[in-house]
Amino acid sequence: MVLVATEKQDISYDCKFQNSFGKLQRVFGYIYRFWLLKFQNQTRRKGPLTVDDVKGSTHLLIKGIQRVFFAEDYKALRKNKQVASNSKLSSLHPILDDSGLIRVGGRLQNSLLDYDARHPILLPKNHPVTQAIVAQFHHKFLHAGPQSLLAALRQRFWPIGGRKIVAAIVNKCIRCFRLKPRMMEHIMAPLPASRVQPSRPFTTTGIDICGPFFSKSEVRNRPPAKCYVAVFICFATKASHLELVEDLSTASFLAALKRFTSIRGKPNTIWSDNATNFVGARNELQELRQIFLADPPNIELRNDLLSNGINWQFIPPRSPHFGGFDLEVLTPGHILINTAFNAIDEPDITHLNINRLSRWQRVCQMQQAIWHKWSTAYLSLLQERGKWQSVKANLSPGNIVIIKDDNLPSLQWRMGRVESIVLGPDGVARVAVIRTAAGIIRRAVGKLAVLPFETTSSVSVTLPAGEHFRSRTPNL
């Protein structure tokens, strides 16, 4: 007599179809037919798989997994004993059915649920087949959320640690992620110099257009007309200036810019987004020359990587006379901005005794005292980061991202691959270069959402020793 000891193996672990439960069922359907022919002495079946074949193959597949991962519990149940108190299945009071499957005993024996819902089949934690079953139910129930998916899954199966497994599958679903994408967040950057250094109001200005709004005409039967509002915001003082804009054309924007500069003075820098009416101003430099009376026009427009927009640099003319005039005419604009449009900065005289100063120097000293108060009382409020407080990993070249578009639903946002990243002075990537189907573009990281990867390789699972089967065969 020869004693042969074999270790029970999980044959599904090395199957190339383990990430698709439907394919696994069909593969094991033919294995189930062979098992019936070889060990049950049934006649050979031909043709496509039947419902009974799929059901039997599912039981055969899960039974092999259970005997490896729940080996000790299977031994105890086969001897009509209770599982060990330290077992993960002890709270479920498992039972062994007629086909040899380990099921949940539970407390719902007297309910009106069917047998599979009262005694669902137990599945091991973090097994590839368990994940494949959860993924199949997720697609079957039309991408249900974690709670609904777990409730539907437990009508037939009971995975150990089900909440975490279900949440992981839902979070890795590409379609669910694209429906509710999570934009990347990076730590807030240090404030630029134009935000924390004293300057004349609207020296550095941000501009955007809000709307549309509807203005009612004085004519009775005329329908309301659309209009927009151009918002100019000073970087240093947060002062706001509103200008009514007739439409989103470049001409309307230039008219609003004329009115703004005639009241608030000429800014040195204007920050804007990449809207078409701002870009169209590139072709209107001749009209901008008439605004600032500079020949040639001292205006530099360039795309700025950090803001993904336009940085308008207005370089002051070299001539000491403004617009070719030796003497400037006093206008209401001088009173509104408390100085001439081309006035030079006064030296710091806050440390001098007021008795030594002339009347004009006293006015300048009071203005500088206000700015000193701004520096000591206001700037300290900007130290704290209200959001985006933690440092997170930068994008990596090769990441697949979707690009946010405010004018389209999330499922129609473009996809792209990160080619490279642009690091800021603090080492944080806030701009990425992305290759899309339409070409290479640059976008701010806050407008990107990294897609979760769906790996095709199996998850690394430590296989237990399983149960040993011993058989005695005659010595040939």
User: How buried is 130 (Cβ within 10 angstroms: 0-12 exposed, 13-18 middle, 19+ buried)?
Assistant: buried
Q: Which two tokens stand for residue 194?
A: 């134009």
Handedness of CA 404, 410, 412, 414 (dihedral sign): positive
> pLDDT tens digit string along 404-462?
998 889 889 999 999 999 888 888 888 999 999 999 999 989 899 999 875 434 444 55
* Separation of alpha carbons 431 and 395, rounded Å: 9
Q: Any idea what DSSP says for residue 376?
A: I
Choose the most confident range, by mean pLDDT, from 65-79, 255-269, 305-319, 374-388. 65-79
| CB count in 10 Å sphere of residue 440 | 11
Across-strand partners of 227? 213
Check if the beta carbon of residue 204 is closer than 8 Å to that of residue 234: yes
Domains and CATH numbers, the chain: 2-173 (no CATH), 201-338 (3.30.420)
**Statement: residue 19 has pLDDT above 70:** yes
**Percent of the chain with pLDDT strictly greater than 90:** 25
Q: Which two tokens stand for residue 284?
A: 């209107």
> pLDDT tens digit string along 69-117?
999 999 999 999 988 988 889 999 999 988 889 999 989 988 999 999 9
Average model confidence (pLDDT) across the chain: 80
Across-strand partners of 414? 403
> pLDDT tens digit string along 287-321?
555 555 444 444 444 444 344 555 665 544 433 33
pLDDT of residue 5: 57
pLDDT of residue 334: 63
Q: Any idea what DSSP says for residue 111?
A: S
Check if the beta carbon of residue 64 is closer than 8 Å to that of residue 10: yes
> pLDDT tens digit string along 196-255?
888 888 889 999 999 899 988 778 788 888 999 999 999 988 889 999 998 888 888 888
Residues 131-157 as b/e (b if ≥16 CB within 10 A, e otherwise) read bbbbbbbbeeeeebebeebbebbeeeb
pLDDT of residue 241: 93
| CB count in 10 Å sphere of residue 113 | 13
Q: Which two tokens stand for residue 278?
A: 């701002």
User: How buried is 119 (Cβ within 10 angstroms: 0-12 exposed, 13-18 middle, 19+ buried)?
Assistant: buried
Q: Which of 417, 415, 400 is nearest to 453 (CA)?
A: 400
Q: Which two tokens stand for residue 185?
A: 């967040």
DSSP letters, 206-236, are EEEEEEEEEE--SSTTSPPEEEEEEEEEETT
pTM equals 0.64
